[in-house]
Amino acid sequence: MKKLPTVAYFSMEFGLDSNFKIYAGGLGILAGDYLKAAKDLGYPVVGVGILWKQGYNKQIVTEEYGVIDAFPIYRYNFLKDTGVKVKVRIRNRDVYCKVWKVDNFENADLYLLDTDLPENADRWITGQLYGWFGEERVAQEMVLGIGGVRALKELGIKVDVYHFNEGHAVFAGLELVRYYMEEKGLSFEQALSKAREKIVFTTHTPVEAGNETHPLRLLMYMGANLNLTEEQLVHIGGAPFNMTVAALRLARISNAVSDLHRITANAMWAQVDRRSRIIGITNGVHVGTWADRRILESRHNPEKLWQTHTQIKRELLDFVEKRTGIKLREDVLTIGFARRAAPYKRSDLIFRDKEAADKMFKNDLQIIFAGKSHPLDDTGKEIVNNIIAMSKKYPGKVVFLEDYDMEIGKMLTRGCDIWLNNPRRPLEACGTSGMKAAMNGVLNVSTLDGWWPEACQHGINGWQIGDGFESKDEKEQDSHDLKSLVNVMQNEVIPTYYKNRDKWVKMMQNSIESTLEKFSAERMVKEYYEKMYIQKSHED
């Protein structure tokens, strides 16, 4: 058998464990799940990331001040010193990056760069994850990309494939181009095509504004160009320099994170010439992390499965009471809704039909929200405030858990009865939290966005909201989806839960069986190897 290619997986964040705060949300948790699945499979993968001193914001909400962001400094005792230090020249100053190794969360080896060293004038580059913009963001991306490639070389790891998880790692591509030009004497064109042979890219953001750009002059000033001319930079990333466009041109092949997202991404980047093709590889989640062992063990016996579910639901309600002081009811249909506070996720949709909401929340429903917003995102904070207003309007029925993290994610995706997801299609690239829920027999009720069209069998393993309707007119789309949401809740979900328990439990079983393998991170990593990493001789 041929040896599998060695892959270096670059990501700005990794979600390996709730208390290891080098992640913000879905992107990082995907990266963590990827490293765990690669380890389970025994595939030759290493991760490359940053040791964030303060991580992402810790977010709390108080009566007096509203939403407050805190930035504690974290220290970890499990980091292994590799003894390796690499240098990146940023703003005309040498920045030293110490390289740590992490391998204790059942993950493949992860190498983390850290600039918080006494010899650095710029110790704070690895301070806050997504904390700053402009120069600081570019500096962080230079550490990840340029520092990352140099660290791997210094560690003696021979890399066959550089995988960029999002555009943040694009400067790793420039470093490879620089290497082939300066150290191998190739021309720019030759070096670019040589680098392309080794790079693959995963795009995540179906919103134009979510794709980061930087002014060319800033990149030149920072030294991110690595001696390339402005013209050469434009050839790769355009002007202003678009990190996604650059990644699409630096990669030999790229992927979107669900089949629907493949269509969206191809349409979105249709105008970009000289780019790689974009195939679809749907995300998956790490089963050992996200599926409750007790659920998997009892899933073939309906009675036991229901008992186990009830037990886990009780654990969730206790957890909620401990955190909030609010005691929810065990016999009431419980919705979970946990999301980054972004407008397209429409966390308030279920409340917009006031009459229907009053009626449903009076007897039949309770909902647990969790979410958090970027510290500089006022719209996101408004969304959080709005949910808190709802928890006051429906006391004892609507609760909000602050500081959404992996622990809350775990509790909710195994302890609720249904998982509500109503993004404005097609803006959800994938949405992995629904997979976690599905594997635990928590039934998805979701618009046909992201991964759900690939999994949904309406009334069998969950429910769809609406029919995949899309409109340029947001109001029209929202009112269409709201009608469908109320309809499916009142006519299907609520009656099944209270009047047909046998069918409900059967649906739980179907939910688990239809997702456990198909939406696992193991399947995803295997697919990456088959479709992206292993080069077929006749291709590309």
Ligand X SMILES: *Cc1c(COP(=O)(O)O)cnc(C)c1O
439, 461 Cβ separation under 8 angstroms: no
- By the rule CB under 6 A, 455 interacts with ligand X: no
Q: Closest separation between CB of residue 317 and ligand X, Å?
A: 19
Binding mask 286-325 for ligand X (x = CB under 6 A): ----------------------------------------
In the complex with ligand X, which residue's Cβ is closer, 203 or 432? 432
d(CA 84, CA 90): 19
In the complex with ligand X, which residue's Cβ is closer, 25 or 49? 25
In the complex with ligand X, which residue's Cβ is closer, 13 or 481? 13
d(CA 56, CA 359): 38
Q: Which stretch binds ligand X (CB under 6 A): 188-196, 236-244, 293-301, 427-435?
A: 427-435
d(CA 95, CA 139): 10
375: preceding bond cis by omega (within 30 degrees)? no
d(CA 14, CA 129): 11
Q: Closest separation between CB of residue 404 and ligand X, Å?
A: 6
Which tokens hold the place of 34? 């990827």
Interactions with ligand X, residue window 2-61 (CB under 6 A): 25-26, 29
3-state DSSP call for residue 25? coil
Which tokens hold the place of 156? 């003696």
In the complex with ligand X, which residue's Cβ is closer, 383 or 406? 406
Binding mask 245-284 for ligand X (x = CB under 6 A): ----------------------------------------
Q: Closest separation between CB of residue 502 and ligand X, Å?
A: 29
- DSSP letter string over 344-373? GG-TTGGGSSHHHHHHHHHHTEEEEEEEE-
Amino acid at 402: E
Instruction: Find how far residue 399's CA is from the centre of its chain.
Output: 24
Name which position in 102, 295, 406, 521 contacts ligand X (CB under 6 A).
Answer: 406
In the complex with ligand X, which residue's Cβ is closer, 60 or 157? 60
Q: Which stretch binds ligand X (CB under 6 A): 137-145, 355-363, 405-413, 492-500?
A: 405-413
d(CA 37, CA 465): 32
In the complex with ligand X, which residue's Cβ is closer, 26 or 223? 26
In the complex with ligand X, which residue's Cβ is closer, 425 or 436? 436
Which tokens hold the place of 323? 């955190």
Q: Which stretch binds ligand X (CB under 6 A): 50-58, 255-263, 272-280, 432-440?
A: 432-440
- By the rule CB under 6 A, 404 interacts with ligand X: yes
Q: Closest separation between CB of residue 44 and ligand X, Å?
A: 26
In the complex with ligand X, which residue's Cβ is closer, 196 or 339? 339
Q: Which stretch binds ligand X (CB under 6 A): 142-150, 180-188, 222-230, 426-434?
A: 426-434
Which residue sits closest to ligand X, CB atoms considered? 409
- By the rule CB under 6 A, 431 interacts with ligand X: yes
d(CA 270, CA 264): 10
Q: What is the DSSP letter of 167?
A: G
Q: Closest separation between CB of residue 405 and ligand X, Å?
A: 5
Name which position in 339, 346, 381, 414 contacts ligand X (CB under 6 A).
Answer: 339
d(CA 522, CA 510): 20
In the complex with ligand X, which residue's Cβ is closer, 9 or 171? 9
Question: Residues for the chain: how many in total?
Answer: 540
Phi, psi of 25 (to 5 degrees): -165, -140
Q: Angle at the Cα of 212 (from 382 to 75), degrees rounded to 5? A: 70
d(CA 518, CA 524): 9
Q: Closest separation between CB of residue 323 and ligand X, Å?
A: 15
Closest CA to 369 of 382, 354, 388: 388
- By the rule CB under 6 A, 433 interacts with ligand X: yes
- By the rule CB under 6 A, 109 interacts with ligand X: no
Q: Closest separation between CB of residue 118 and ligand X, Å?
A: 34
In the complex with ligand X, which residue's Cβ is closer, 211 or 232? 211
3-state DSSP call for residue 85? strand
User: How far, CA to CA in Å, does 383 sit from each of 324, 334, 374, 420?
Assistant: 19, 21, 12, 17
Q: Which stretch binds ligand X (CB under 6 A): 138-146, 172-180, 220-228, 401-409?
A: 401-409
Q: Closest separation between CB of residue 303 and ligand X, Å?
A: 30
Q: What share of the chain is helix, strand, coil (3-state, %, to 5)?
A: 45, 20, 35
In the complex with ligand X, which residue's Cβ is closer, 432 or 515? 432
Number of residues that bind ligand X (CB under 6 A): 13
3-state DSSP call for residue 502? helix
Amino acid at 155: L
In the complex with ligand X, which residue's Cβ is closer, 178 or 436? 436
- DSSP letter string over 199-229? EEEE----SGGGS-EE-HHHHHHHTTTTT--
In the complex with ligand X, which residue's Cβ is closer, 313 or 436? 436
Q: Which segments of 283-404 are extended strands (E)?
A: 333-340, 365-372, 398-401
Binding mask 487-526 for ligand X (x = CB under 6 A): ----------------------------------------
Residue 416 CB neighbours (<10 A) = 27
Q: Closest separation between CB of residue 421 and ligand X, Å?
A: 7
Closest CA to 532 of 260, 250, 269, 161: 161
In the complex with ligand X, which residue's Cβ is closer, 141 or 405? 405
Q: Which stretch binds ligand X (CB under 6 A): 140-148, 167-175, 388-396, 430-438?
A: 430-438
Name which position in 126, 298, 432, 511 contacts ligand X (CB under 6 A).
Answer: 432
Site residues, ligand X (CB under 6 A): 25-26, 29, 339, 404-406, 409, 431-434, 436
